[in-house]
């Protein structure tokens, strides 16, 4: 190798060594840590929690009667206002009574005629009984007369039944309310021929004070409901959503548990009675029902939004304070401050609703859990707690 080549090779090696030394001596650049994730938190605390069950209910009239004519004839008048409240016995409609008045008159006349015949037969029997005592007539004649009296007495009894039937049919020409309640829409107008076979009757009357609400619960709730019902009356609240808010419609009590479980749905039907003073419940309407079975006292609870589901079951993100240790090569600086981090803690749950969840194990009272912003978190993530929201009331 020539002297010039050796010199060039030495220069290249020296230059490479210089670059390596520079790279080694260059201080390492630290990438900035990601900013803390903003979250909102709440504390686990003890509270008395009402254990309630929710279901969709159907409002049902306390009593429903379809008013149907008992006789056939032209309906001459309607004596109620549609949609009004009528009392039991109030006149609703009238059917032309003239054919039934004539039938009653005919039955009365026939009965009077047969009563006269019976009186004659009885007088004749008395005379025959006097004559036979003196042996003026035979015993066979007296026996025949007794049979005649018995026959006439049966005919009069039959006439009495016909008179009762005629009077009853005549009373049916005045159609009255069988119960107290609210009338519906009139199905047949005056002037039409009505009969017991009139489809849908004349009008339907419903009692809505009080009123029933039917709803169903899963069969798993049956033991708890039965225990509570045996101990005390169970209060039921019916409410509806109005403008995004929950409006209470009425308060009632549970009255009936069905005697079978629906095999196709695995649910049990229950019936609650409401006084319905404000007529907030109307037959056929759907409402949400809340059934309070008991109160769990001194239960550890967190907001339900804090509970998350993982592969191994429910957990919460709990907040803890972490103070990073400074490197051994440099002294502690004021920048090494405590930071807030989260830890995923498995929990065992009790009763839960849309607002609160009872924690059986996993948390202690006073621990802070994440209620907003948890979708971006992971164990050990740094967080920044946002201030609480302040609600402003409007008059």
Where is the domain boundary, 261, 278, 297?
Answer: 297
Please report the beta strands in the chain, taking only residues with DSSP state E, as ranges in sequence order.
37-43, 45-67, 73-78, 85-86, 91-95, 174-176, 181-183, 193-194, 203-218, 235-242, 245-262, 267-274, 286-303, 308-310, 313-322, 339-346, 348-352, 356-361, 368-372, 383-385
Task: Quote helix, strand, coil % in the chain, to nearest 5.
Answer: 30, 40, 30
Q: Is the pLDDT of residue 394 over 80?
A: no
Q: Is the pLDDT of residue 186 over 80?
A: yes
Same domain (yes/no): 168, 189: no
Q: CA-to-CA distance for 121 and 290, rounded, in angstroms? A: 76
Identify whether 248 is part of a domain.
yes
Same domain (yes/no): 216, 231: yes
Q: Is the pLDDT of residue 68 over 90?
A: yes
pLDDT on residue 365: 92
Provide mean pLDDT across the span 313-338. Answer: 70
pLDDT on residue 19: 58
Provide mean pLDDT across the span 281-297. Answer: 91
pLDDT on residue 233: 84
Identify whether 127 is part of a domain.
yes
Same domain (yes/no): 304, 380: yes
pLDDT on residue 104: 97
Identify whether 264 is part of a domain.
yes
Q: What pLDDT, in 10s, does the model give residues 264-280?
A: 999 999 999 999 999 99
Same domain (yes/no): 163, 261: no
* Overall number of domains in the chain: 4
| C-alpha dihedral (46, 51, 55, 58), degrees to nearest 10 | -130
> Residue 34's pLDDT band (boundaries 50, 70, 90)?
confident
Q: Flag the least confident range among 81-85, 299-303, 317-321, 325-329.
A: 325-329
pLDDT on residue 326: 61
The CATH number of the domain holding residue 331 is 2.40.420.20
The CATH number of the domain holding residue 262 is 2.40.30.170
Where is the domain boundary, 172, 193, 221?
Answer: 172
Residues spanned by the domain of 342: 37-47+299-385
Average pLDDT, the chain: 87
Identify whether 393 is part of a domain.
no
**257 Cβ neighbours under 8 A, 6+ residues apart:** 222, 225, 226, 229, 268, 270
pLDDT on residue 229: 86
Same domain (yes/no): 73, 196: yes
pLDDT on residue 393: 38
Chain centroid offset of residue 166 CA: 48
Identify whether 180 is part of a domain.
yes
Same domain (yes/no): 319, 369: yes
Q: CA-to-CA distance for 306 and 315, rounded, in angstroms? A: 9
Share of the chain above pLDDT 70, in %: 86
Same domain (yes/no): 183, 281: no
Where is the domain boundary, 265, 282, 297?
Answer: 297
State which of 29-33, 49-53, 274-278 shows the largest mean pLDDT: 274-278
Same domain (yes/no): 271, 322: no
Full-model pTM:
0.67
Identify whether 23 is part of a domain.
no
């Amino acid at each position: 190798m020539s002297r010039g080549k050796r010199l060039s090779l030495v220069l290249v090696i020296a230059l490479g060594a210089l670059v390596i030394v520079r790279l080694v001596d260059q201080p390492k650049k630290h990438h900035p840590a990601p900013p803390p994730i903003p979250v909102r938190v709440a504390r686990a605390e003890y509270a008395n929690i009402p254990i309630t069950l929710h279901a969709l209910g159907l409002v049902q009239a306390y009593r429903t009667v379809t008013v149907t004519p008992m006789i056939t004839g032209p309906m001459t008048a309607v004596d109620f206002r549609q949609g009004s409240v009528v009392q039991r016995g109030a006149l609703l409609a009238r059917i032309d009574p003239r054919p039934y008045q004539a039938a009653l008159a005919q039955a009365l006349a026939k009965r009077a005629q047969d009563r006269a015949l019976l009186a004659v037969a009885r007088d004749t029997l008395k005379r025959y009984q006097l004559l036979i005592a003196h042996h003026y007539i035979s015993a066979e004649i007296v026996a025949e007369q007794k049979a005649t009296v018995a026959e006439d007495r049966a005919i009069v009894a039959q006439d009495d039944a016909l008179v009762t039937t005629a009077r009853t049919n005549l009373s049916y020409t005045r159609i009255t309310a069988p119960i107290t309640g609210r009338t519906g829409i009139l199905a047949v107008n005056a002037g039409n021929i009505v009969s017991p076979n009139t489809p849908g009757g004349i009008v339907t009357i419903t009692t809505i004070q009080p009123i029933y609400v039917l709803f169903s619960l899963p069969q798993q709730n049956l033991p708890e409901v039965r225990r509570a019902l045996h101990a005390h009356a169970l209060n039921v609240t019916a409410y509806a959503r109005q403008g995004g808010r929950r409006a209470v419609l009425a308060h009632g009590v549970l009255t009936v548990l069905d005697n079978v479980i629906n095999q196709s749905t695995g649910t049990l039907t229950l019936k609650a009675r409401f006084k319905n003073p404000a007529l907030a419940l109307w037959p056929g309407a759907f409402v949400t029902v809340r059934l309070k079975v008991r109160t769990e006292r001194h239960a550890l609870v967190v907001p339900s939004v804090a509970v998350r589901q993982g592969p191994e079951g429910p957990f919460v993100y709990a907040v803890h304070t972490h103070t990073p240790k400074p490197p051994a090569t440099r002294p502690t600086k004021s920048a090494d401050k405590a930071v807030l981090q989260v830890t995923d803690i498995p929990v065992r749950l009790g009763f839960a609703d849309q607002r609160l969840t009872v924690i059986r194990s996993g948390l202690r009272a006073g621990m802070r859990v994440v209620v907003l912003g948890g979708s971006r978190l992971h164990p050990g993530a740094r967080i920044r707690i946002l201030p609480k929201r302040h609600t402003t009331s409007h008059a």
